[in-house]
């Protein structure tokens, strides 16, 4: 966790205190059920919850101190609880194994993280929708290979981003549900010393599904799927960030990240307004993506479990969720306040001398009876002149003056093909598909 | 594609001929709809399909030859079609762009691949289920950290694998549906020169959903999710393969890959029976996993599209699906014919002098009034003696002879804790959860 | 190996025939030494080499046929050799293990691959140097964050690329030497049944160093380093490819990939000239980079060896080297024939109304006594006006008209700061550093 | 940085205070040279160093406060320095750009990190050497595929690890030298406003080489190579950790991580002694390896630079070096105190009924005139009986009783092939190769 790239709500999920609170709840709910089942005294559960009701501060330092001796985090935690509760605490954790607590806690943390990330996505979606509608018919050039192609609208670009992040939202919901399971099944998952009803009770209390078959641990394919999904979302962030970076290039300048009054772009070049937020997002996407492979490598634990996954998760659990939360919020801010320059978009659209309409002319020629090859040749020879003139010449005028073309199409028919509105007739349909 | 790791059905999806057949279908179905809409002559569509009905061999060499000149694969293909159909073919591809064909074709190929992989998973699940039921109550030692823990059954190990691959099946179905979209939307996705009804028609004919908003290309987050899901499945393969490799170790030898009569394990050591199939699967898992990151990197194309994704997909499209298909089939074969040695499992279970029952004794002591710490100490001091004797001493006997223990538990009470059956009382419940 | 992205010389290294030739040489050289040491009859070695001197065609089909029965590739190969040589062949492979042949063969293949890649780099370096010198003083705008910064020369861009690929060459030489070792040490690397002198002899004959300590296999950290180095080179390719793609953007158009007369850029837009080669290189870089992680995962083999690395290497050995060879050659071609447009570079340089000189003015103001903050403020307020005019206003004129500025700097002193040549005074020094 | 996996010396390199100290030195040394060159007043440099000589505490909070306003870290730092030094500080940073400071600082940090890691490797190498010599002739079974192969010594295993880490040391030295360059070249690397002599001076003072051609930034192929090298080292750590984990398995138990008196292996199973340190190292290796790909993705910056690399480096700079430092130290501790059980090694060696000697018998039969195929068949049929008896039968006795075998070899000749010492005759030679 880099403070610079953390937001408090997500970061707090991963703090020791939050973890110990979840541990307590898991242990105490389990104790409740055991008491109900008559396995442990009812007084034990009562004592434990009574102590908790006093709202005892979580003494992380003390727990760490015990762990330094016993080298076991859950035992250290239980020791600290016992110091507060007294003798009744000895029934806690009965028939359970550490991983019952650790893995169920991780499930809670990942679920809570996912919920925050889903909120983040919802906010991003809202902004994207608003700005897409705002620019539904703002003409801009569509580019393939970085080369001017045909007109689109700026709203369409944003509608695409919306659709992509809506898919990501659905994927994240699935990944959250995949990872949100509870296992209270004992040393090797057989429930040898604990009734499966305890697991069911804890699962319900913690908002989790039960893990159908655990083996001391919850299987790590669930976590792999979770982090892989975050990696996909990060890649979508990179896509939109890259779009903004391109639009802000000096030569393009169709949009800009909001530039606050006190901000200095460069210590050396005061005129510079750099797309530093989206460049930063590009880097953060790499970071989140980098956690996918370790998560995949965590799946193949030895036999019923080994603990190699644990250190990996200490890094990537917080880092992937905190970073992605920050990145989504930053992206939402960028898109919310993005400075959009429609005049510049129009200017760029016009700079190619009408080449962007060549496809329509090509079709008109074909429909007028030219073979595909001939039509292509006729358009290309005029298009090349425009291209080489750097937009000084007009494709429309050249076509009108080309005898082979005018043999097939009248001047009026040629002019018709240079109508920008023609390209936008289905924008409403596409918006309907995306926004319903 | 490595022939050694390919199966014909999956490989054939990726052959040039299969690709060109799909291209034809996309173009011809699009033409049908355009004819119906009155955009092109009905005779054109008829001529194209009539030619196809003659079942013309796909002349890959000729198409390659044209491509070498025009440096454009779809134009080369259309030229070849025109050579067969004649002048009527000139209406093909009208208003479309190459990516309409290429991306929709890739969607078809990935969908077909996914269908085969789902079949593979079904076969694996069937085998896992059969063998899980066969060994539902075959006792074996559960191991955490590679160290003997408590008893499980071999059927439970397989039930876990079943549940994991059942999850993977569900994930793959979702990933397949995610990637199976059709885009026929023209140069920059605006349908400027083509009616969206054409897209809807082709989508239906090819068994795809429509892409709500495309930008010449289908967005690559869909493909990223697809390949990420294959990476998760590969990791689960590695997990089960690693389990078999461990079980076949000389010192463990609880199961073995089937060993055919003619097979030589080693040119140097004729007695060796190596788990080469599961070792191979471990490697293949790395290979499939390696394709996840390039797929993620493919998402952030420039503006409406750049073509950097294309070369990546030429590798990973075939390689990931063909390799995973082979790996799933190999794993199914391994599990189907796996030699399982219950006697050896029992022998290994017994070799620790009863240490695997220590947890139960610990609980009994606690319930008899010992503090958790005391119970732990009493069990540990006897357990250590057994451990150091390498299983020669019996934990049960030592406990009976320990005065502090016998003050709390009678000999009979101690013996009760060494009952193996005790651990398996919930096996049926777990099987019920997994297999329903 | 994708034929489209393969060149014959590199591909041939990885063909079965080439592999079997290397196997033969390893086995036969080992036999020679064993004969010299008196371990096997001299006639055996003679018989084997005599047969080889008849230049027998490598019967890959026959070897595959035997392998299908014995399921062991080296035994299959030796069987085929024995079929040709006769009884004397039985002394071949004595005291050796399969990996002695396989791993030493892989070392030879990787070394030969590296040699080709080093040649590729040399050709790229030559082209980069030539074009760097050609454009040593061609002015162009330097860009940070995609935003115009200060002037550089196009030659400097190329000199940077040269320096980067020269580093890559040095890294590859190191990686080649790292991976080029020979192990002929028997079943577990103890030389139990073979004299280390055999290893030394084979190493010398095959152009390899001896592996100081092998364990049936050559340790895979060597290969990991090799493929990691290829991943770095691929990333440098991506960097230069990305530069060209940016320069070819419609709005920038300072350079273009060579465009051959018959080439069609798009089936729909005949005017388009797309940077498809460098986009392709961007994708190929992802592919090669994707092989780094599997290679790293191959290092941790179990005990003296397991065979999980083998399937991985069957993919990445050929794919990484063949793809990188193709990519380097393609990049060399792109850079060799790159169309460079100095007039457009100058036009772009001028379009910002002189903003690129703002840093110099800032310094002049500081030297004239302004505080850094004041100087910054003065430059920024004028720079912003130019920026907002989209280059219509001139920074120089605005500064002359700003009373606070003219209080510190005369018109002449301001003009001096707008001299382009000022920026290039150290270009020679930098070239001297890079090209010596 | 996870405190649990951090050591103070390495962590301190990455603390804000350390960073600002390096920034100061870079700026102040640059100022010195500028003063010497007459570009700035000598008093300025004196004033700055005089202030530094008062050992002012680094006020990180103040610098952060300024950064929050100006959104630029280097300007914030310089503002804080100016607050301490006074007006003379205005000459600092003249002609420089932020990256001159940031990138040179990162080079210093990575160099210092590398130096610590090299120290770590030296300590690991020392321990490995000592323990290798200690166990030079401790017999143990060599295993391929997890299956018993032929005898090796435990010292040979450690000698292999030594050789591997010695290679890693050499690679790290190369990577350190690759990344340790200084760039003080101004806004786009042209030295427009700064004399290259300043760069040379700062480089010398900071212990760096000069960067031959920078472009505002130091090229990131250098960093990519650095992190890739850390990834290789991490993979070697995983290899040795995996070896220990295997040796500590209950069924193998040839070695164990040191087990401190107060340590509890499991909250549930008090007898367990788990290889948690080496499992942890396996996970940490995944973590470090995960940083390789983001570092490779950082290479392809746009034009002269974009800032996407920066956020990535904020994570992986500290995380990769701190984690690897911790892991190397932990591995050194594990190997230093590793409990080695030679009796158990011997017991395991013997458990296969002499099968490990089968290769020698095979060779003896071949030398006695049997064809390779016959020899293989004879050994295999007896070996299989031993294998199936689970080591109860003795291969030596079976061979003596096999008439086809005894027709070729006398009982004495058979017995000779079961001599363990035979396998170790070249151990000294191998040690000589490794340790010199």
Min Cα–Cα distance to chain B from A262, Å: 31
Q: Where does the pLDDT of residue B390 fall: very low under 50, low under 70, confident under 90, or very high at 90 and above?
A: confident
Mean pLDDT to the nearest integer, A411-417: 92
Topology of the domain comprising C98-348: Fumarase C; Chain A, domain 2 (1.20.200)
Cα angle: A50, vertex A54, A56; to 5 degrees: 115
What's the whole-number average pLDDT of chain D?
A: 94
Could you check whether C98-348 and C355-417 share the same CATH topology? no
Nearest chain C residue to D422 by CA distance is: C192
Which of C87, C239, C302 has its CB closest to that of D242? C302
**Catalytic residue positions of D, numbered:** 145, 266
Please provide residue C318's backbone torsions phi and psi, each rounded to the nearest 5 degrees: -65, -45
A403 burial via Cβ count (<10 Å: 0-12, 13-18, 19+): exposed
pLDDT of residue A119: 98
Chain B residue numbers touching D249 (CB-CB < 8 A) = 143, 146-147, 249, 251-252
Q: What is the C-alpha separation between B33 and C381, in angstroms, rounded? A: 60
Whether the predicted pLDDT of D320 surpasses 60: yes
Cα torsion C297, C298, C304, C310: sign: positive
pLDDT of residue A354: 87
Q: What is the C-alpha separation between C102 and C73, in angstroms, rounded? A: 10
D368 burial via Cβ count (<10 Å: 0-12, 13-18, 19+): middle
Q: Where does the pLDDT of residue B267 fall: very low under 50, low under 70, confident under 90, or very high at 90 and above?
A: very low
Cβ–Cβ below 8 Å for A307 and D98: no
Dump pLDDT digits (tens) for C22-39. Answer: 999 999 999 999 999 999
Mean pLDDT to the nearest integer, A211-225: 98
Write out the CATH class of domain C3-91: mainly alpha
Both structure tokens of C63: 């070897």
Does the A96-259+271-346 domain belong in CATH 1.20.200.10? Answer: yes
Whether the predicted pLDDT of B202 surpasses 80: yes
SS3 of chain A: the string is: CCHHHCCHHHHHHCCHHHHHHHHHHHHHHHHHHHHHCCCCCHHHHHHHHHHHHCCCCCCHHHHHHHHHHHCCHHHHHHHHHHHHHCHHHHHCCCCCCHHHHHHHHHHHHHHHHHHHHHHHHHHHHHHHHHHHHHCCCCEEEEEECCEEEEEEEHHHHHHHHHHHHHHHHHHHHHHHHHHCEECCCCCCCCCCCCCHHHHHHHHHHHCCEECCCCECECCCHHHHHHHHHHHHHHHHHHHHHHHHHHHHCCCCCCEECCCCCCCCCCCCCCCCCCCHHHHHHHHHHHHHHHCHHHHHHCCCCCCCECCHHHHHHHHHHHHHHHHHHHHHHHHHHHHHHCEECHHHHHHHHHCCCCHHHHHHHHHHHHHCCCCHHHHHHHHHHHHHHHHHCCCCCCHHHHHHCCHHHHCCCCHHHHHHCCCHHHHHCCHHHHHHHHHC
Whether the predicted pLDDT of C269 surpasses 90: no
The better pLDDT of the pair B266, C407 is held by C407
Report chain B's terminal Cα–Cα distance, integer Å: 39
Min Cα–Cα distance to chain B from D339, Å: 13
Mean pLDDT to the nearest integer, B320-332: 98
Which of B187, B219, B232 has its CB closest to that of A359? B187
The better pLDDT of the pair D333, D377 is held by D333
pLDDT of residue A267: 45
How many percent of chain C have pLDDT more than 70? 97
pLDDT of residue D267: 45
Cβ–Cβ below 8 Å for C224 and D232: yes
- Rg value, chain A, Cα: 30
pLDDT of residue C372: 82
Whether the predicted pLDDT of B53 surpasses 50: yes
Mean pLDDT to the nearest integer, A276-286: 97
Q: What is the C-alpha separation between B237 and B241, in angstroms, rounded? A: 6
Whether the predicted pLDDT of D268 surpasses 50: no
SS3 of chain C: the string is: CCHHHCCHHHHHHCCHHHHHHHHHHHHHHHHHHHHHCCCCCHHHHHHHHHHHHCCCCCCHHHHHHHHHHHCCHHHHHHHHHHHHHCHHHHHCCCCCCHHHHHHHHHHHHHHHHHHHHHHHHHHHHHHHHHHHHHCCCCEEEEEECCEEEEEEEHHHHHHHHHHHHHHHHHHHHHHHHHHCEECCCCCCCCCCCCCHHHHHHHHHHHCCEECCCCECECCCHHHHHHHHHHHHHHHHHHHHHHHHHHHHCCCCCCEECCCCCCCCCCCCCCCCCCCHHHHHHHHHHHHHHHCHHHHHHCCCCCCCECCHHHHHHHHHHHHHHHHHHHHHHHHHHHHHHCEECHHHHHHHHHCCCCHHHHHHHHHHHHHCCCCHHHHHHHHHHHHHHHHHCCCCCCHHHHHHCCHHHHCCCCHHHHHHCCCHHHHHCCHHHHHHHHHC
The better pLDDT of the pair C259, D428 is held by D428
pLDDT of residue C333: 98
Mean pLDDT to the nearest integer, C340-346: 95
Write out the CATH class of domain D5-258+269-346: mainly alpha
Q: Whose CA is closest to D291, among A283, B204, B410?
A: A283
Min Cα–Cα distance to chain B from C52, Å: 23
Min Cα–Cα distance to chain B from D54, Å: 51
Which of B69, B274, B283 has its CB closest to that of C311? B283
pLDDT of residue C267: 45
Which of A2, A280, A314 has its CB closest to that of D4? A314
Whether the predicted pLDDT of D130 surpasses 60: yes
pLDDT of residue B214: 97
Dump pLDDT digits (tens) for C3-25. Answer: 999 999 999 999 999 999 999 99
Q: What is the pTM assigned to this prediction?
A: 0.96
Chain B residue numbers touching D144 (CB-CB < 8 A) = 266, 272, 274
Both structure tokens of C344: 């457009």
Whether the predicted pLDDT of C194 surpasses 90: yes
pLDDT of residue A355: 84
Topology of the domain comprising C355-417: Ribonucleotide Reductase Protein R1; domain 1 (1.10.40)
Average the pLDDT over each of B36-50, C244-258, D241-255, D366-380 and give the range with the smallest value.
D366-380
Q: Are B287 and B326 in contact (CB under 8 A)?
A: no
Whether the predicted pLDDT of D47 surpasses 80: yes
Catalytic residue among C12, C72, C266, C410: C266
Catalytic residue among B12, B266, B308, B371: B266
How many percent of chain D have pLDDT more than 90? 83
Cα angle: A142, vertex A148, A152; to 5 degrees: 20
To 10 degrees, the CA torsion angle through A400, A401, A403, A407? 20
Cβ–Cβ below 8 Å for A178 and B167: yes
Whether the predicted pLDDT of B270 surpasses 60: no
Domain boundaries, chain B: 3-91, 98-348, 355-417
Chain C residue numbers touching D299 (CB-CB < 8 A) = 232, 235-236, 238-239
Cβ–Cβ below 8 Å for B239 and A221: yes
DSSP helix/strand/coil, B105 = helix
Q: What is the C-alpha separation between C21 and C14, in angstroms, rounded? A: 11
Q: Which range in B347-351, C22-26, D408-412 is most confidently predicted, on average pLDDT?
A: C22-26
Cβ–Cβ below 8 Å for B300 and A238: yes
pLDDT of residue A175: 98
Q: Taking each helix axis from N to C terminus, what angle separates D276-290 and A308-337, rounded to the nearest 10 degrees? A: 30
Write b or e for each residue in B399-410: b if 16 or more Cβ atoms lie within 10 A of its Cβ, otherwise e: bbebeebeebbe
DSSP helix/strand/coil, D148 = strand
The better pLDDT of the pair D228, C268 is held by D228
**Catalytic residue positions of A, numbered:** 145, 266
- Rg value, chain C, Cα: 30
Chain A residue numbers touching B363 (CB-CB < 8 A) = 94-95, 193
Cβ–Cβ below 8 Å for A235 and B187: no
Q: Whose CA is closest to D214, among C349, C145, C163?
A: C163
Mean pLDDT to the nearest integer, A137-164: 96
Which of C144, C186, C430 has its CB closest to that of D216? C144
What's the whole-number average pLDDT of chain C?
A: 94
Dump pLDDT digits (tens) for A3-15. Answer: 999 999 999 999 9
Q: Are A266 and D185 in contact (CB under 8 A)?
A: no
pLDDT of residue A265: 52
pLDDT of residue D265: 52
pLDDT of residue C270: 52
Cβ–Cβ below 8 Å for C251 and A248: no
Q: What is the C-alpha separation between C48 and C65, in angstroms, rounded? A: 22
pLDDT of residue A12: 97
What's the whole-number average pLDDT of chain B?
A: 94
pLDDT of residue B354: 87
Dump pLDDT digits (tens) for C169-181. Answer: 999 999 999 999 9
For residue D181, the cross-strand partners are D209
Q: Whose CA is closest to C100, among C178, C14, C215, C179?
A: C215
Whether the predicted pLDDT of D261 surpasses 70: no
pLDDT of residue C268: 44
Q: Verify whether residue B135 is a known catalytic residue.
A: no
pLDDT of residue C273: 85
Q: Are C331 and C241 in contact (CB under 8 A)?
A: yes
Chain A residue numbers touching D93 (CB-CB < 8 A) = 267
Whether the predicted pLDDT of D380 surpasses 90: no
Dump pLDDT digits (tens) for B13-23. Answer: 999 999 999 99
Q: What is the C-alpha separation between D277 and D4, in angstroms, rounded? A: 13
Both structure tokens of C138: 């061609």
Q: Where does the pLDDT of residue B261 fall: very low under 50, low under 70, confident under 90, or very high at 90 and above?
A: low
Q: What is the C-alpha separation between D394 and D379, in angstroms, rounded? A: 13
Q: What is the C-alpha separation between B374 and B365, in angstroms, rounded? A: 9
Mean pLDDT to the nearest integer, A17-24: 98
């Amino acid at each position: 966790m880099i403070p610079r790239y953390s937001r408090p709500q997500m970061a707090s999920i991963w703090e020791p205190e939050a973890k110990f609170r979840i541990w307590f709840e898991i242990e105490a709910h389990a104790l409740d059920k055991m008491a109900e089942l008559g396995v442990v005294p009812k007084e034990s559960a009562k004592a434990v919850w009574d102590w908790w009701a006093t709202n005892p501060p979580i003494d992380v330092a003390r727990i760490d101190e015990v762990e330094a001796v016993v080298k076991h985090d859950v035992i250290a935690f239980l020791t600290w609880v016992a110091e507060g509760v007294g003798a009744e605490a000895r029934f806690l954790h009965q028939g359970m194994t550490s991983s019952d607590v650790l893995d169920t806690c991780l499930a809670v943390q990942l679920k809570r993280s996912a919920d925050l990330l889903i909120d983040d996505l919802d906010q991003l979606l809202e902004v994207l929708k608003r700005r897409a509608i705002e620019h539904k018919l703002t003409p801009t050039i569509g580019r393939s290979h970085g080369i001017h192609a045909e007109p689109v609208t700026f709203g369409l670009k944003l509608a695409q981003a919306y659709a992509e992040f809506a898919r990501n939202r659905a994927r994240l919901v699935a990944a959250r549900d995949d990872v949100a399971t509870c296992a209270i099944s004992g040393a090797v998952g057989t429930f040898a010393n604990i009734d499966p009803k305890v697991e069911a009770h804890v699962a319900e209390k913690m908002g989790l599904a039960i893990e159908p078959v655990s083996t001391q641990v919850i299987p790590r394919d669930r976590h792999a799927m979770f982090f892989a999904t975050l990696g996909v979302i990060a890649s979508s962030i990179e896509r939109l960030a890259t779009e903004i970076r391109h639009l802000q290039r000096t030569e393009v300048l169709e949009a800009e990240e909001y530039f606050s009054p006190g901000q200095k772009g460069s210590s050396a070049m005061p005129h510079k307004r750099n797309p530093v937020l989206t460049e930063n997002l590009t880097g953060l996407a790499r970071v989140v993506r980098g956690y996918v492979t370790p998560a995949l490598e965590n799946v193949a634990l030895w036999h019923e479990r080994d603990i190699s996954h644990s250190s990996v998760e200490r890094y990537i659990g917080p880092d992937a969720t905190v970073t992605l939360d920050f990145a989504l919020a930053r992206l939402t801010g960028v898109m919310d306040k993005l400075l959009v320059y429609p005049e510049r978009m129009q200017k760029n659209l016009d700079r190619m001398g009408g080449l962007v309409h060549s496809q329509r002319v090509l079709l008109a020629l074909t429909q007028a009876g030219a073979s595909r090859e001939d039509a292509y040749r006729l358009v290309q020879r005029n298009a090349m002149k425009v291209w080489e003139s750097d937009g000084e010449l007009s494709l429309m005028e050249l076509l009108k003056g080309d005898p082979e073309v005018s043999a097939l199409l009248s001047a009026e028919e040629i002019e018709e093909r240079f109508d920008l509105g023609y390209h936008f007739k289905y924008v409403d349909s596409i918006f309907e598909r995306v926004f319903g």
